[in-house]
Structure 1
Amino acid sequence: MSDTTNFYLEEKFLSADRMIGEGRLSEAAHLLEEILAEAPDFGKAHNHLGWLYETKFKNYVQAEEHYRLAIKFSPEYPAAYYNYCYCLSALRKHEELERVLELAIKVSGISYASIYNEYGLLREAQGKLDDAIHYFRLHIQNSFDAKTIETAADSIKRCERKKELLG
Protein backbone atom coordinates (compact mmCIF):
# COMPACT_ATOMS: atom_id res chain seq x y z
CA MET A 1 0.00 0.00 0.00
CA SER A 2 1.15 3.53 -0.56
CA ASP A 3 2.26 5.74 2.28
CA THR A 4 -1.31 7.03 2.64
CA THR A 5 -3.43 4.95 4.95
CA ASN A 6 -6.59 3.58 3.42
CA PHE A 7 -8.86 3.49 6.45
CA TYR A 8 -11.53 1.51 4.62
CA LEU A 9 -9.07 -1.31 3.90
CA GLU A 10 -7.59 -1.06 7.40
CA GLU A 11 -11.09 -1.48 8.83
CA LYS A 12 -11.70 -4.53 6.64
CA PHE A 13 -8.34 -5.90 7.75
CA LEU A 14 -9.23 -5.45 11.42
CA SER A 15 -12.53 -7.25 10.77
CA ALA A 16 -10.63 -10.16 9.24
CA ASP A 17 -8.29 -10.17 12.24
CA ARG A 18 -11.29 -10.36 14.59
CA MET A 19 -12.77 -13.20 12.53
CA ILE A 20 -9.55 -15.16 12.93
CA GLY A 21 -9.72 -14.60 16.69
CA GLU A 22 -13.30 -15.88 16.68
CA GLY A 23 -12.36 -18.98 14.68
CA ARG A 24 -14.21 -17.83 11.56
CA LEU A 25 -11.27 -18.79 9.39
CA SER A 26 -12.95 -19.24 6.02
CA GLU A 27 -14.72 -15.90 6.31
CA ALA A 28 -11.48 -14.22 7.34
CA ALA A 29 -9.60 -15.76 4.41
CA HIS A 30 -12.27 -14.54 1.98
CA LEU A 31 -12.16 -11.04 3.43
CA LEU A 32 -8.36 -10.97 3.22
CA GLU A 33 -8.60 -12.08 -0.42
CA GLU A 34 -11.06 -9.23 -1.05
CA ILE A 35 -8.61 -6.77 0.44
CA LEU A 36 -5.82 -8.10 -1.76
CA ALA A 37 -8.04 -7.93 -4.85
CA GLU A 38 -8.41 -4.20 -4.14
CA ALA A 39 -4.86 -3.61 -2.94
CA PRO A 40 -2.42 -6.40 -3.90
CA ASP A 41 0.32 -4.56 -2.00
CA PHE A 42 -1.45 -4.67 1.40
CA GLY A 43 1.32 -6.48 3.27
CA LYS A 44 -0.52 -7.09 6.53
CA ALA A 45 -3.28 -8.95 4.65
CA HIS A 46 -0.60 -11.12 3.03
CA ASN A 47 0.84 -11.86 6.48
CA HIS A 48 -2.51 -12.95 7.88
CA LEU A 49 -3.26 -15.09 4.84
CA GLY A 50 0.19 -16.64 5.18
CA TRP A 51 -0.54 -17.46 8.81
CA LEU A 52 -3.89 -19.03 7.90
CA TYR A 53 -2.34 -21.09 5.10
CA GLU A 54 0.49 -22.24 7.35
CA THR A 55 -1.18 -22.93 10.67
CA LYS A 56 -4.78 -23.73 9.76
CA PHE A 57 -4.88 -24.91 6.15
CA LYS A 58 -1.40 -26.57 6.10
CA ASN A 59 -0.62 -25.20 2.65
CA TYR A 60 3.03 -24.25 3.10
CA VAL A 61 3.64 -23.18 -0.51
CA GLN A 62 0.88 -20.56 -0.26
CA ALA A 63 2.00 -19.60 3.24
CA GLU A 64 5.56 -18.90 2.11
CA GLU A 65 4.38 -16.88 -0.88
CA HIS A 66 2.14 -14.69 1.26
CA TYR A 67 4.86 -14.18 3.88
CA ARG A 68 7.32 -13.16 1.13
CA LEU A 69 4.79 -10.66 -0.19
CA ALA A 70 4.05 -9.37 3.32
CA ILE A 71 7.71 -8.54 3.83
CA LYS A 72 8.04 -7.07 0.34
CA PHE A 73 5.05 -4.75 0.71
CA SER A 74 5.22 -4.03 4.47
CA PRO A 75 8.90 -4.28 5.37
CA GLU A 76 8.23 -2.39 8.62
CA TYR A 77 5.63 -4.90 9.91
CA PRO A 78 7.36 -7.10 12.53
CA ALA A 79 4.66 -9.82 12.64
CA ALA A 80 5.44 -10.84 9.07
CA TYR A 81 9.06 -11.57 9.99
CA TYR A 82 8.17 -13.60 13.07
CA ASN A 83 5.61 -15.68 11.19
CA TYR A 84 7.82 -16.24 8.18
CA CYS A 85 10.73 -17.26 10.41
CA TYR A 86 8.60 -19.75 12.34
CA CYS A 87 7.36 -21.22 9.07
CA LEU A 88 10.84 -21.51 7.54
CA SER A 89 12.18 -23.04 10.75
CA ALA A 90 9.43 -25.67 10.78
CA LEU A 91 10.15 -26.45 7.13
CA ARG A 92 13.90 -26.60 7.87
CA LYS A 93 14.66 -24.09 5.11
CA HIS A 94 17.81 -22.85 6.79
CA GLU A 95 19.29 -20.68 4.03
CA GLU A 96 16.06 -18.74 3.51
CA LEU A 97 15.58 -18.46 7.28
CA GLU A 98 19.06 -16.96 7.63
CA ARG A 99 18.20 -14.36 4.98
CA VAL A 100 14.92 -13.39 6.67
CA LEU A 101 16.57 -13.17 10.10
CA GLU A 102 19.19 -10.80 8.66
CA LEU A 103 16.37 -8.55 7.42
CA ALA A 104 14.32 -8.88 10.60
CA ILE A 105 17.03 -7.77 13.00
CA LYS A 106 17.05 -4.35 11.25
CA VAL A 107 13.30 -3.71 11.60
CA SER A 108 12.18 -0.99 14.02
CA GLY A 109 10.08 -2.42 16.82
CA ILE A 110 11.23 -6.01 16.30
CA SER A 111 11.87 -8.07 19.41
CA TYR A 112 15.60 -8.75 19.46
CA ALA A 113 14.99 -11.50 22.00
CA SER A 114 12.67 -13.32 19.60
CA ILE A 115 15.03 -12.95 16.65
CA TYR A 116 18.04 -14.10 18.68
CA ASN A 117 16.04 -17.10 19.84
CA GLU A 118 15.32 -17.98 16.21
CA TYR A 119 19.02 -17.58 15.39
CA GLY A 120 19.82 -19.91 18.30
CA LEU A 121 17.35 -22.54 17.13
CA LEU A 122 18.71 -22.27 13.59
CA ARG A 123 22.30 -22.75 14.75
CA GLU A 124 21.26 -25.66 16.96
CA ALA A 125 19.48 -27.32 14.03
CA GLN A 126 22.64 -26.84 11.96
CA GLY A 127 24.70 -28.50 14.69
CA LYS A 128 26.59 -25.26 15.45
CA LEU A 129 26.08 -25.58 19.18
CA ASP A 130 28.56 -22.93 20.37
CA ASP A 131 26.92 -20.40 18.04
CA ALA A 132 23.50 -21.50 19.28
CA ILE A 133 24.54 -20.91 22.89
CA HIS A 134 25.84 -17.46 21.91
CA TYR A 135 22.45 -16.52 20.42
CA PHE A 136 20.49 -17.95 23.34
CA ARG A 137 22.61 -15.74 25.64
CA LEU A 138 21.77 -12.72 23.45
CA HIS A 139 18.12 -13.75 23.76
CA ILE A 140 18.45 -13.64 27.56
CA GLN A 141 20.28 -10.29 27.43
CA ASN A 142 17.46 -8.76 25.37
CA SER A 143 14.53 -10.38 27.18
CA PHE A 144 12.48 -8.85 29.97
CA ASP A 145 10.18 -11.78 30.62
CA ALA A 146 11.12 -14.36 33.27
CA LYS A 147 9.49 -17.25 31.40
CA THR A 148 11.33 -16.60 28.12
CA ILE A 149 14.59 -16.16 30.02
CA GLU A 150 14.08 -19.59 31.60
CA THR A 151 13.26 -21.07 28.20
CA ALA A 152 16.51 -19.64 26.80
CA ALA A 153 18.44 -20.97 29.82
CA ASP A 154 16.95 -24.41 29.14
CA SER A 155 18.01 -24.09 25.49
CA ILE A 156 21.58 -23.39 26.60
CA LYS A 157 21.51 -26.46 28.87
CA ARG A 158 20.13 -28.55 26.02
CA CYS A 159 22.94 -27.41 23.69
CA GLU A 160 25.59 -28.04 26.35
CA ARG A 161 24.18 -31.53 26.89
CA LYS A 162 24.25 -32.19 23.15
CA LYS A 163 27.90 -31.09 23.07
CA GLU A 164 28.67 -33.62 25.83
CA LEU A 165 26.82 -36.44 24.11
CA LEU A 166 28.01 -35.73 20.58
CA GLY A 167 31.59 -35.02 21.58
Structure 2
Amino acid sequence: MHEETNFELEERFLTADRLISEGQLREAAQTLEDILAEAPDFGKAHNHLGWLYETKFKNYDRAEEHYRLAVKFAPGYAAAYYNYCYCLAALRKHDELEIILGLALKVPGINYATLYNEYGMMREIQGRYDDAIHYFRLHIQNSFDSKTIDSAVESISRCERKKKLIV
Protein backbone atom coordinates (compact mmCIF):
# COMPACT_ATOMS: atom_id res chain seq x y z
CA MET A 1 0.00 0.00 0.00
CA HIS A 2 1.34 3.40 -0.95
CA GLU A 3 0.96 6.27 1.50
CA GLU A 4 -0.58 9.50 0.34
CA THR A 5 1.69 12.51 0.63
CA ASN A 6 0.31 15.24 2.85
CA PHE A 7 1.82 18.29 1.16
CA GLU A 8 0.74 20.65 3.91
CA LEU A 9 2.58 18.59 6.54
CA GLU A 10 5.58 18.20 4.24
CA GLU A 11 5.70 21.97 3.77
CA ARG A 12 5.60 22.53 7.53
CA PHE A 13 8.31 19.91 7.93
CA LEU A 14 10.49 21.76 5.41
CA THR A 15 9.87 24.96 7.37
CA ALA A 16 11.11 23.22 10.53
CA ASP A 17 14.15 21.96 8.62
CA ARG A 18 14.90 25.51 7.49
CA LEU A 19 14.45 26.83 11.03
CA ILE A 20 17.00 24.30 12.27
CA SER A 21 19.50 25.38 9.63
CA GLU A 22 18.94 29.01 10.67
CA GLY A 23 19.56 28.16 14.32
CA GLN A 24 15.99 28.83 15.41
CA LEU A 25 15.83 25.65 17.46
CA ARG A 26 12.91 26.46 19.75
CA GLU A 27 10.74 27.42 16.81
CA ALA A 28 11.82 24.34 14.86
CA ALA A 29 11.07 22.04 17.80
CA GLN A 30 7.66 23.63 18.27
CA THR A 31 6.85 23.25 14.57
CA LEU A 32 7.84 19.58 14.71
CA GLU A 33 5.81 19.02 17.89
CA ASP A 34 2.80 20.65 16.20
CA ILE A 35 3.19 18.33 13.21
CA LEU A 36 3.34 15.29 15.50
CA ALA A 37 0.30 16.46 17.48
CA GLU A 38 -1.60 16.34 14.20
CA ALA A 39 0.14 13.31 12.66
CA PRO A 40 1.90 11.18 15.32
CA ASP A 41 3.10 8.81 12.59
CA PHE A 42 5.07 11.45 10.64
CA GLY A 43 8.44 9.71 10.85
CA LYS A 44 10.58 12.46 9.39
CA ALA A 45 9.39 14.88 12.10
CA HIS A 46 10.36 12.28 14.73
CA ASN A 47 13.83 12.06 13.17
CA HIS A 48 14.38 15.79 13.27
CA LEU A 49 13.11 16.03 16.86
CA GLY A 50 15.42 13.18 17.78
CA TRP A 51 18.32 15.04 16.24
CA LEU A 52 17.43 18.21 18.15
CA TYR A 53 17.10 16.35 21.44
CA GLU A 54 20.37 14.51 20.89
CA THR A 55 22.67 17.15 19.48
CA LYS A 56 21.26 20.42 20.76
CA PHE A 57 19.26 19.70 23.92
CA LYS A 58 21.34 16.68 25.12
CA ASN A 59 18.24 14.73 26.12
CA TYR A 60 19.27 11.27 24.96
CA ASP A 61 16.21 9.42 26.25
CA ARG A 62 13.86 11.60 24.22
CA ALA A 63 16.23 11.46 21.25
CA GLU A 64 16.24 7.66 21.28
CA GLU A 65 12.46 7.52 21.51
CA HIS A 66 12.01 9.86 18.55
CA TYR A 67 14.57 7.97 16.48
CA ARG A 68 12.81 4.69 17.29
CA LEU A 69 9.52 6.19 16.11
CA ALA A 70 11.18 7.66 13.02
CA VAL A 71 12.40 4.24 11.93
CA LYS A 72 9.02 2.69 12.75
CA PHE A 73 6.93 5.25 10.86
CA ALA A 74 9.36 6.13 8.03
CA PRO A 75 11.22 2.86 7.38
CA GLY A 76 12.52 4.12 4.03
CA TYR A 77 13.93 7.39 5.39
CA ALA A 78 17.70 6.79 5.48
CA ALA A 79 18.52 9.83 7.64
CA ALA A 80 16.62 8.30 10.56
CA TYR A 81 18.86 5.22 10.51
CA TYR A 82 22.08 7.22 10.36
CA ASN A 83 21.02 9.47 13.23
CA TYR A 84 19.72 6.60 15.34
CA CYS A 85 22.98 4.71 14.77
CA TYR A 86 25.12 7.70 15.74
CA CYS A 87 23.08 8.18 18.91
CA LEU A 88 23.26 4.51 19.92
CA ALA A 89 26.99 4.43 19.18
CA ALA A 90 27.61 7.51 21.32
CA LEU A 91 25.67 5.87 24.16
CA ARG A 92 27.51 2.56 23.58
CA LYS A 93 24.25 0.67 23.24
CA HIS A 94 25.78 -1.95 21.01
CA ASP A 95 22.99 -4.52 21.11
CA GLU A 96 20.45 -1.97 19.87
CA LEU A 97 22.97 -0.55 17.41
CA GLU A 98 23.52 -4.00 15.90
CA ILE A 99 19.78 -4.33 15.27
CA ILE A 100 19.40 -0.89 13.68
CA LEU A 101 22.46 -1.40 11.48
CA GLY A 102 20.98 -4.68 10.26
CA LEU A 103 17.69 -2.95 9.43
CA ALA A 104 19.47 -0.05 7.76
CA LEU A 105 21.33 -2.35 5.37
CA LYS A 106 17.93 -3.21 3.84
CA VAL A 107 16.91 0.41 3.13
CA PRO A 108 16.98 1.32 -0.56
CA GLY A 109 19.46 4.10 -1.30
CA ILE A 110 21.27 3.82 2.03
CA ASN A 111 25.00 4.52 2.06
CA TYR A 112 26.62 1.16 2.79
CA ALA A 113 30.02 2.74 3.38
CA THR A 114 28.61 4.79 6.26
CA LEU A 115 26.97 1.74 7.83
CA TYR A 116 30.07 -0.42 7.51
CA ASN A 117 32.10 2.33 9.14
CA GLU A 118 29.64 2.30 12.05
CA TYR A 119 29.97 -1.49 12.28
CA GLY A 120 33.77 -1.10 12.26
CA MET A 121 33.79 1.48 15.02
CA MET A 122 31.41 -0.59 17.12
CA ARG A 123 33.61 -3.66 16.77
CA GLU A 124 36.70 -1.59 17.58
CA ILE A 125 35.12 -0.27 20.78
CA GLN A 126 34.20 -3.85 21.67
CA GLY A 127 37.84 -4.88 21.21
CA ARG A 128 36.96 -7.14 18.29
CA TYR A 129 39.75 -5.77 16.09
CA ASP A 130 39.69 -8.41 13.33
CA ASP A 131 35.94 -7.87 12.88
CA ALA A 132 36.50 -4.12 12.91
CA ILE A 133 39.13 -4.42 10.19
CA HIS A 134 36.73 -6.55 8.14
CA TYR A 135 34.06 -3.83 8.32
CA PHE A 136 36.51 -1.03 7.59
CA ARG A 137 37.52 -2.96 4.44
CA LEU A 138 33.83 -3.19 3.46
CA HIS A 139 33.64 0.54 4.08
CA ILE A 140 36.48 1.06 1.60
CA GLN A 141 34.90 -1.29 -0.93
CA ASN A 142 31.62 0.67 -0.82
CA SER A 143 33.12 4.16 -0.72
CA PHE A 144 33.70 6.50 -3.63
CA ASP A 145 35.24 9.36 -1.70
CA SER A 146 39.02 9.52 -1.26
CA LYS A 147 38.84 11.17 2.16
CA THR A 148 36.57 8.50 3.60
CA ILE A 149 38.77 5.80 2.10
CA ASP A 150 41.82 7.43 3.71
CA SER A 151 39.94 7.55 7.01
CA ALA A 152 39.11 3.84 6.77
CA VAL A 153 42.76 3.03 6.01
CA GLU A 154 43.72 4.95 9.17
CA SER A 155 41.07 3.01 11.11
CA ILE A 156 42.54 -0.28 9.92
CA SER A 157 46.03 0.86 10.96
CA ARG A 158 44.71 1.94 14.35
CA CYS A 159 43.07 -1.48 14.88
CA GLU A 160 46.25 -3.29 13.83
CA ARG A 161 48.17 -1.19 16.34
CA LYS A 162 45.65 -1.85 19.09
CA LYS A 163 45.88 -5.59 18.42
CA LYS A 164 49.59 -5.40 19.20
CA LEU A 165 49.23 -3.14 22.23
CA ILE A 166 46.17 -4.61 23.91
CA VAL A 167 46.35 -8.32 24.60
CA distance in 1, matches of 2:131, 2:165: 17
Which amino acid is 2:150 matched to?
A: E
Aligned pairs (5 A) from 1:47-86: 47-86=47-86
In the other structure, the counterpart of 2:5 is: 5
- Unmatched 5+ stretches in structure 1: none
After TM superposition, the runs of 4+ consecutive aligned structure 1 residues lying more than 2 A away are none
CA distance in 2, matches of 1:46, 1:153: 35
CA distance in 2, matches of 1:33, 1:71: 17
CA distance in 2, matches of 1:96, 1:17: 27
CA distance in 1, matches of 2:18, 2:147: 28
Which amino acid is 1:30 matched to?
A: Q
- Unmatched 5+ stretches in structure 2: none
Aligned length: 166
- Give deviations 1:66-93, integer Å, cap 9, x for gaps: 0000000000000000000000000000
In the other structure, the counterpart of 2:150 is: 150
Q: TM-score scaled to structure 2, two decimals?
A: 0.98
1:166 to partner: Cα distance = 1.4
- Give deviations 1:114-149, integer Å, cap 9, x for gaps: 000000001101110000000000000000001100
In the other structure, the counterpart of 2:109 is: 109
Secondary structure (helix, strand or coil) at the match of 1:23 reads coil
CA distance in 1, matches of 2:7, 2:51: 23
Q: TM-score scaled to structure 1, two decimals?
A: 0.98
CA distance in 1, matches of 2:67, 2:77: 11
CA distance in 1, matches of 2:65, 2:6: 24
Which amino acid is 1:37 matched to?
A: A
CA distance in 1, matches of 2:152, 2:23: 31
Secondary structure (helix, strand or coil) at the match of 2:30 reads helix
CA RMSD of aligned residues (A): 0.7
1:17 to partner: Cα distance = 0.2
CA distance in 2, matches of 1:154, 1:32: 39
CA distance in 1, matches of 2:12, 2:135: 39
Residue 38 of structure 2 is aligned to residue 38 of structure 1 = yes
CA distance in 1, matches of 2:105, 2:150: 22
- State the percentage of identical aligned residues: 74
In the other structure, the counterpart of 1:17 is: 17
Which amino acid is 1:146 matched to?
A: S
1:163 to partner: Cα distance = 0.4
CA distance in 2, matches of 1:56, 1:128: 32
Secondary structure (helix, strand or coil) at the match of 2:23 reads coil
